[in-house]
Structure 1
Amino acid sequence: MIQGLFEAHLPISNLKQSIEFYQKLGLELAWKDEDTAFFWIEKEKSWLGLWEGKEVDTPYHPSLRHIAFRVSYEFMKQSVDWLKEREIEAKPFGKNFFVEPFVRPYQGNASVYFEDPDGNSLEFMCFIEVPAEYRLDTTKYVIEDWEKRVKG
């Protein structure tokens, strides 16, 4: 029976630069060699492998070069400022034009997107409580608008 995700991997172009970036996100370096580094996402539970090489030239697609990190709802609300403090810019994703954290009621989550130095798509994501009347709502809401709507 599956109990969780143990590892995920991303291609990178510069190991030293990527190690510095992922350390700014608060991840702990677990292991490295000359062209590979692994960071604990949850210590002793899950990690992220970074692989320096020509694979970084693979065109972006979320099925190939995307990772979502689970965060709390409270952290989500201030995540853009937290990223800015680390000189990381939040970015809109796909058809979503929000840079701010936003809610997808139909998926029951909130997200904010950003990129690593090689353009790999990174996301902070948290689960949210969705009232029954919004569970089929496919609108994306900036988090402040969502809170006003559900607390109404």
Structure 2
Amino acid sequence: MIKDLYEAHLPVSNIKQSIDFYEELGLQLAFEGERVTFLWINKGKSWLGLWEGESVETPYHPSIRHLAFHVELADMKKAKSWLETKGIEVREAFGFSKDHQPLVLMNEPNAHAAIYFNDPDGNSIELITPLVYDMNEKKNMMSLQQWEEEIGFV
């Protein structure tokens, strides 16, 4: 029945500024309206809805105002420099400074590499890639660099 996630939505204060930001990340404009705009994440498969209005004042919580984009591991390894070339600063996440990201999230028995930043309205944006499923060892969170050195595979 359910195949994948088709859409997600975020509140924004300035629709034009947000369109520019998400297009800079590679999303493609699908529909532009006065208060809602949709950008393709993967054309025909998934899109992001941006809603201009007062909702942007809703305090951040991980269950709202957060979006994670799947990327390939090769892209994750260069994500920080890619973001920096676009003037986007990686932010601290889970106690890991931007210097120690991408980081590895240990959601036992799975491990994912991720890097975090904010959009112009403070919505939390994450780039994430799976590293391993059904891992038998218990590990602590670490940087992707540490993962490569200690675990020896990615």
**Residue 101 of structure 1: aligned partner:** 102
Q: How far is 1:96 from its partner?
A: 2.7
**Residue 71 of structure 1: aligned partner:** 71
Percentage of pairs with the same residue: 46
Q: How far is 1:131 from its partner?
A: 8.2
Q: How far is 1:98 from its partner?
A: 3.1
Structure 2 spans left out of the alignment, 5+ residues? none
**Residue 145 of structure 1: aligned partner:** 146
Structure 1 length as normaliser, TM-score?
0.92
- What is the rounded CA distance, in whole Å, between the counterparts of 2:60 and 2:152 in structure 1? 38
- What is the rounded CA distance, in whole Å, between the counterparts of 1:50 and 1:132 in structure 2? 37
Structure 1 residues 44-95: Cα deviation after superposition (integer angstroms, max 9, x where no partner)? 01100000000001001111100000001111111010000000001112x3
1:118 corresponds, among 109, 121, 124, to 121
Q: Give the partner amino acid of 2:87.
A: E
- What is the rounded CA distance, in whole Å, between the counterparts of 1:8 and 1:102 in structure 2? 24
Bigger drift between 123-132 and 108-117 goes to 123-132
**Residue 81 of structure 1: aligned partner:** 81
Q: How far is 1:150 from its partner?
A: 1.3
State how many pairs are aligned. Answer: 149
Q: Does 1:6 align with 2:6?
A: yes
- What is the rounded CA distance, in whole Å, between the counterparts of 2:20 and 2:9 in structure 1? 17
Verify the 8 A CA contact 1:98 1:142 in the aligned structure 2: no
- What is the rounded CA distance, in whole Å, between the counterparts of 2:133 and 2:146 in structure 1? 14
Bigger drift between 123-132 and 11-20 goes to 123-132
Alignment of 1:120-139 (within 5 A): 120-129=123-132, 132-134=135-137, 136-137=138-139, 139=140
- 3-state SS of the aligned residue for 1:128? strand
Structure 2 length as normaliser, TM-score?
0.91
Specify whether residues 129 and 28 from structure 1 end up closer, same or farther in structure 2 by C-alpha distance, changes over 3 A only: same
RMSD of Structure 2 on Structure 1 (CA): 1.5
Structure 1 spans left out of the alignment, 5+ residues? none
- What is the rounded CA distance, in whole Å, between the counterparts of 1:120 and 1:131 in structure 2? 31
